[in-house]
Chains A and B, each alone.
Chain A
Amino acid sequence: RKEVEQDPGPFNVPEGATVAFNCTYSNSASQSFFWYRQDCRKEPKLLMSVYSSGNEDGRFTAQLNRASQYISLLIRDSKLSDSATYLCVVIQAGTALIFGKGTTLSVSS
């Protein structure tokens, strides 16, 4: 069973659209949760941490459901610059980041 699973997409949306990504994780003892963004052939960059109460950063909203072991990311009012691969990431124990394979988003004008 994969540790972190994501729908690979691609998600192709027009500018201004709202798009949602989902992620599930297998280890119920997972402690910390993140969304990272990766542009083509670049390093992952932290988009936002995910908290149980849900959290928002501008156009981005992240939710965590520990009971369902489910994480989501909502992007409102999509911009061309949002085109990237979005990586769901957890820390199970220790400090190692466990990555999903990523969901690819393409925003078009």
Chain B
Amino acid sequence: EPEVTQTPSHQVTQMGQEVILRCVPISNHLYFYWYRQILGQKVEFLVSFYNNEISEKSEIFDDQFSVERPDGSNFTLKIRSTKLEDSAMYFCASTGTGGKNTQYFGPGTRLTVL
């Protein structure tokens, strides 16, 4: 069964450093998403990406965040200058047609900012 993959599984970084989280969505999917979950909190939407551009973003997704699909398979989330409060689990998700269909989530990257 096709699945979304994410690397690394755990990233530890110093405050102020840049991090890039990587995702490989399911191959024929068209809509891509990033969500985050701070420990003990709910899953929160960050951004959606379709047709090589951002289609929606939340208030959390400020100027320190950016997304990119650098090639036909990878989808990345960059955090330019990490803060302590960026420590969370970051989930990538993808869906096929229509966007309102089932979103399949990757296993997540646990980001720890020290």
Q: Which residues of A are in contact with B by a Cβ distance under 8 Å?
A: 31-32, 38, 41-46, 49, 87, 91, 94-102
- For chain B, give the interface size range: 20 to 34
Q: What is the bound-complex CA distance between A45 and B96, given in angstroms?
A: 16
Q: CB distance B42 to A100 under 8 Å? A: yes
Q: CB distance B105 to A95 under 8 Å? A: no
Main secondary structure of the interface of B (DSSP, over half): strand
Residues facing A in B26-41 (CB within 8 A) are 31, 33, 35, 41
Q: CB distance A102 to B42 under 8 Å? A: yes
> Which residue of the partner chain, among B58, B105, B106, B108, contacts A96 with CB atoms under 8 Å?
B58
Q: CB distance A95 to B100 under 8 Å? A: yes
Q: CB distance A42 to B99 under 8 Å? A: no
> Which residue of the partner chain, among B103, B106, B108, contacts A97 with CB atoms under 8 Å?
B103
Q: Which residues of B are in contact with A by a Cβ distance under 8 Å?
A: 31, 33, 35, 41-45, 48, 55-56, 58, 89, 91, 93, 95, 99-100, 102-108
What are 20 A-B contacts defined by CB distance under 8 Å? A38-B43, A42-B108, A43-B91, A43-B105, A43-B106, A43-B107, A44-B105, A91-B100, A95-B31, A95-B33, A95-B48, A95-B99, A95-B100, A96-B56, A97-B33, A97-B43, A97-B45, A97-B103, A98-B45, A101-B42
Main secondary structure of the interface of A (DSSP, over half): loop
